């Protein structure tokens, strides 16, 4: 009996065969112990009491409750408890006062070991649920990032394609820069999708640091890529704006500029001038994007978006303790302005 129990307990985890599951490890020694106890009682054999088998059965009870599959855990634990409570009867060959005392002690030990194992199993389950929810939330955030990037690039492709079609009739010699812009936007969209798919395939916890997010340095590239022969974009950055702002603040500021420029392409394609400003406002980061358009656009209705971009952007900004305002400017045009507490960590 001890050999069977010791084999189940001491077999190295790395060398265990596939068939030696927690169910097999905990049930087989218990069944062997129960059969041996029953045989000893029927034969009337005298047994010498020793704690070794009891310790092994308590350990196997712990393993059954914590590690066995849910549908097997109760059955395997019950077998271990039955084998443990039969030990005093086997050694004393009858239910005497001493045997009852040992059975009561066994029940106490069963409660302690099973309770500890159940508690640890609950912690394992809660940890697994928390990790799963975190990963799902991270994937949703990554998907939202992908939507922002690709929507920005694809909207630019649509606008530049329309421009190319008009120039093909009037200024065919000027087509090359427009086509180059279309090619660049398509390449960046594909690169964003490849990076995001790579992150989604990686289920590790470090995936959050590999999101295709931008920062304040990326705002310059964003504005340069937005400019076209019919739209002038100027970027004004206050020297007081620190390059060491928290990453989440820089990423949110980048998103504000990106969403505002995307909306200009969708809803104000007639804008001739767009101004992007980054400035320090009494220790806070102010990001603003203003245009002089009057709402003219020739994009297909399906390309106008669902109207949720600013809603999601407001949630992102307010989550950092900031404020977001979007509305018409005096005269003509539209302005999106966000204020961030620069010290937010």
Query: Which tokens is 152 given?
Result: 């920005």
Q: Are 8 and 61 in contact (CB under 8 A)?
A: no
Task: Please give the backbone phi and psi of residue 292, each rounded to the nearest 5 degrees, phi first.
Answer: -115, 25
Task: Tell me the pTM.
Answer: 0.46
Q: Are strands 273-281 and 232-237 parallel, antiparallel or unpaired?
A: parallel
Nearest-angstrom CA–CA distance, 59 and 7: 13
pLDDT by position in tens, the chain (length 345)? 556 666 666 677 677 788 878 888 888 888 888 888 888 777 766 665 567 888 888 989 999 999 899 889 999 999 989 988 888 877 766 556 677 777 888 889 999 999 999 999 999 889 888 877 876 776 676 666 666 667 766 776 776 777 777 777 777 777 777 777 777 777 777 766 666 666 555 544 444 444 445 788 888 888 887 777 777 889 999 888 888 888 778 888 888 888 888 888 777 778 888 999 999 888 889 999 999 887 655 555 444 454 456 777 787 788 888 899 988 887 778 899 999 986 544
Do 334 and 278 contact (CB within 8 A), yes or no? no
Distances from the Cα of 94 to the Cα of 6, 91, 166, 246, angstroms: 27, 8, 102, 74
């Amino acid at each position: 009996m001890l050999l069977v129990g010791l084999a189940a307990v001491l077999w190295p985890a790395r060398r265990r065969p596939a068939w030696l599951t927690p169910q097999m490890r905990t049930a087989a020694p218990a069944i062997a112990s129960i059969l041996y106890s029953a045989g000893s009682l029927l034969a009337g054999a005298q047994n010498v009491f020793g704690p070794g088998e009891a310790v092994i059965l308590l350990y196997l009870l712990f393993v059954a409750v914590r590690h066995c599959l849910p549908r097997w855990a109760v059955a395997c634990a019950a077998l271990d408890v039955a084998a443990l409570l039969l030990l005093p009867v086997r050694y004393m060959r009858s239910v005497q006062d001493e045997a009852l005392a040992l059975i009561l002690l066994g029940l106490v030990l069963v409660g302690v070991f099973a309770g500890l194992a159940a508690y640890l199993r609950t912690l394992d389950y809660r940890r697994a649920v928390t990790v799963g929810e975190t990963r799902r939330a991270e994937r949703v955030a990554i998907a939202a990032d992908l939507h922002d990037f690709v929507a920005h690039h694809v909207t630019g492709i649509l606008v530049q394609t329309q421009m190319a079609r008009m120039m093909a009739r009037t200024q065919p010699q000027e087509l090359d820069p427009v086509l180059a812009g279309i090619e660049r936007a398509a390449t960046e969209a594909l690169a964003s999708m490849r990076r995001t798919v790579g992150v989604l395939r990686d289920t590790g916890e470090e995936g959050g640091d590999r999101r295709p997010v931008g920062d304040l340095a990326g705002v310059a590239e964003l504005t340069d890529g937005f400019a076209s022969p019919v739209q002038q974009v100027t970027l004004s950055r206050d020297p007081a704006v620190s390059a060491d702002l928290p990453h989440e603040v820089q990423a949110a500021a980048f998103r504000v500029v990106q969403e505002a420029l995307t909306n200009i392409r969708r809803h104000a394609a007639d804008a001739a001038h767009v101004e992007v400003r980054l400035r320090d406002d009494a220790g806070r980061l102010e990001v603003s994007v203003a245009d002089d358009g009057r709402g003219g656009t020739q994009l297909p209705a399906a390309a106008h978006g669902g109207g949720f971009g600013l809603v999601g952007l407001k949630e992102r900004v307010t989550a950092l303790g900031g404020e977001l305002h979007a509305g018409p400017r005096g005269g003509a045009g539209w302005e999106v302005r966000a204020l961030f507490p620069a010290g937010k960590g």
